[in-house]
Amino acid sequence: MSDKKGDLISYRPDIKLLDATIRDGGLVNDFRFSDEFVKTLYETNVKAGVEYMEFGYKASKELFDVNAFGKWKFCDEEDIRAIVGDNNTDLKLTVMADVGRCDFKKDIIPSDESVIDTIRIATYTHQMPGALEMIDYCHDLGYETTINIMAISASKDEDVKKSIELAVESPVDVIYLVDSYGSLYPEQVRELTKMYCEAAEAKGKKVGVHMHNNQQLAFANTIEGIAYGASYADATMSGMGRGAGNCYMEQMLSFLKNPNYKLSPALKFVEKYIAEEKAKGSVWGYDTPYMMTGALNRHPRAAIAFIKEGNTDYDGLYQDLLNELS
C-alpha cells in the first residue's frame, strides 16, 4: 500500500481523538443533556486520554430560539465553566461554529478569557469566504482553529480542491475531511485523505476525519483516514449523532495503541449514560433507510423523517429516493 503511515501494533503520536458526543449527539436530542451526563463525559474523556472534547455549537441566539434547545446549542462560556471549572486537565475543549449561523463577532470572546481552546468552523464549499473570515477572526483572538468542509461527496471535485487551496493559505490549523452523508467508501477515503494531506502538509497543517455510519463504514473510514495520514479523528460515545450516527469512540480507544488511551472509562460511560440516553427515547445508529441515502449520496433527512414516523416501507422509500434522482 503506497503512502500508508503506521501499522497495527505501534502508534503515531500525531493522532488525536476528538469526542463530539455533545455536539453531534445534540442533533439527536436538541442538545438536552443533563449536567451530570456532560460532567461525567468530561471526566470520562480526561480518564480515557482523549485529547479534545467538543461541547456543542456557538449558534446565533438571533437565529435560534434559546428555549427550543438545550444550552449546548449555544455554549455560553459560563455554562462550560460550570462543568469544567478552569479545566485544569490535558483535555482541550472545542466548540463548533457554522458559517452563517453564528454571531461570532459578538459571541466568541478572546481566548485568554475563555476556557475554550479550539474553534471548529463548519462550512460548505460555497461559504468559503465566510469561513476564511471566521478563521482569521478566531485565530487573531488566540484560538486554535479547524475548518470542517461539509458535504464534499455532493460537491464538485474542483470546488473541494479550491476550498482546500484556500484553507491551506489561511491560518487554520487542521483541515477536516467530512463525510456528511455517510456515502464515502474506504477506497475513496484513502484517495481523498492523501489529497488533503498533500495540500495540508505543504503548509504545516494537519488533516482530520469526521465520518458517518450510514453504510456501517464510519469506523472503517476513520481508520483508513488515519492510516493514510489524517491526524485528527472525530468519534462519539456509541456513535451518538444525527441519523446513522458517527464513529464509535469505544472502537477508536480499542483500536489505537497509544498507551495513554484507556477503554474502561468509556465502557463505564456507555453502560450507564448511553443506556439512559437511549431509554429516554433518543434514536440513532445504522438502519436500512440510512443505507439508502448513504449509497445514493443524499442528505439523510428523508431517512430521519421516515424512521421518526415509524415507517417500515423500505422499498417505498427507496423508490421515492430513486424518483427524486431522475
Q: Does 323 bind a second copy (CB under 8 A)?
A: no
State the cell numbers at 49.
Answer: 486520554
The rounded distance, in Å, linking the Cα atoms of 100 and 98 is 6
- Interface residue with a second copy among 37, 248, 273, 284 (CB under 8 A) is 248
Q: Does 1 bind a second copy (CB under 8 A)?
A: yes
How close are the terminal C-alpha atoms of the chain, in Å? 38
Q: Does 216 bind a second copy (CB under 8 A)?
A: yes
- Interface residue with a second copy among 187, 204, 325, 326 (CB under 8 A) is 187
Find, among 159, 203, 211, the residue nearest to 180 by Cα.
211
**Binding-site string for a second copy from residue 292 to residue 321, where x marks contact by CB under 8 A and - marks none:** x--x----------------xxxx--xx--
Least Å distance, CB 42 to a second copy, is 19
Is 74 in contact with 61 (CB distance < 8 Å)? yes
The rounded distance, in Å, linking the Cα atoms of 23 and 29 is 10
State the cell numbers at 302.
Answer: 428523508
**Binding-site string for a second copy from residue 250 to residue 289, where x marks contact by CB under 8 A and - marks none:** xx--xx-------xx--xx-xx---x------------x-
- Interface residue with a second copy among 190, 205, 206, 298 (CB under 8 A) is 190
Is 207 in contact with 177 (CB distance < 8 Å)? yes
Is 183 in contact with 211 (CB distance < 8 Å)? no
Given the rule CB under 8 A, which residues bind a second copy? 1-2, 4, 8, 185-188, 190, 213, 215-221, 223-224, 227, 238, 248, 250-251, 254-255, 263-264, 267-268, 270-271, 275, 288, 291-292, 295, 312-315, 318-319
